Amino acid sequence: MVKRQCMSDEIRDTLATRIYDGSLQPGERLIELAIAQEFGTSQTPVREALRELEAMRLVQSEPYKGTRVREITPREMAEAYLVRAILEQRAAELAAPRFQNSIDRLQQKVDEICESAARGDIDAYARSNMEFHRAIVAAADNQVLLQSWDALQFDARIRVNLFRKNKAIVDRAAEHQPIIDALARGDGDEAGRLLREHSESFAAVWAQEAQNPTSDSDAPTSSCSVEMSTTTD
């Protein structure tokens, strides 16, 4: 059982990476038998991996049509980041008293983000970055808020951002520090404002792409070091 689960995880992670980096294109069919042959396994762990990818909204299955890579559109990304902006702003306001003078865990995550950015390790960057933001939301101690954040599937969206619009991640990584500094002071209003602007800047870039699909602009729209305009997060 453990071996099968490990194989399922390996297949899921490999296919997810191929979707993120564009090796598997939207609409491309994923054939269970071919995948099983590639990994030298039965179709059972393949089915398990595909179910998990569907839960992550990276693929979609239809009766008699099989499983295909799902397109994550610029409009969907923009809308998700706008919702995230609202959720994280409120989360920071609620969580600030819990973080005041106690930010070791968050600081560790920012250190990991910066280190992985310096190495160019996209997977590690995405994982630490997602854990940083989720930790703030979880600290708000509001289960509905956390469930709403989780439903946006930012583990997947962050990786989509990195693979599709990866620009200057070393510079961008350092921009998490002002958020921590505000939380350390117990200033939930400031931390919330920074998190809101953080997400809204991504939403603006994706909204621009939704209006102009041929554009892949990551040019900064503000000189402010916190108001990020490149979608690396």
pLDDT in tens, 14-47: 998 888 877 898 899 999 999 999 999 999 999 9
Residue 44 lies in a domain: yes
Residue 137 lies in a domain: yes
The mean pLDDT of 143-169, rounded to a whole number, is 80
| Same domain, yes or no: 85 and 125 | yes
Flag whether pLDDT at 9 surpasses 60.
yes
* Cβ-Cβ contacts under 8 Å for 187 (sequence gap 6 or more): 96
| Same domain, yes or no: 64 and 101 | no
pLDDT of residue 168: 65
| Same domain, yes or no: 187 and 158 | yes
| Same domain, yes or no: 9 and 65 | yes
| Same domain, yes or no: 62 and 106 | no
| Same domain, yes or no: 85 and 138 | yes
Domain that includes residue 34, residue range:
2-69
In angstroms, rounded to a whole number, what is the distance separating the alpha carbons of residues 192 and 199? 11
Count how many domains the chain has: 2
| Same domain, yes or no: 100 and 189 | yes
Flag whether pLDDT at 166 surpasses 60.
no
pTM for this prediction? 0.77
| Same domain, yes or no: 43 and 79 | no
| Same domain, yes or no: 125 and 64 | no
| Same domain, yes or no: 115 and 166 | yes
Task: Residue 122: give its domain's CATH number.
Answer: 1.20.120.530
In angstroms, rounded to a whole number, what is the distance separating the alpha carbons of residues 89 and 77? 18
Label residue 154 by pLDDT band (50, 70, 90): confident
* Amino acid residing at 126: A
pLDDT of residue 101: 83
Match 């990195």 to its residue by tokens.
162
| Same domain, yes or no: 125 and 184 | yes
| Same domain, yes or no: 105 and 61 | no
Tell me the angle at which helices 177-184 and 74-99 cross, rounded to the nearest 10 degrees.
30
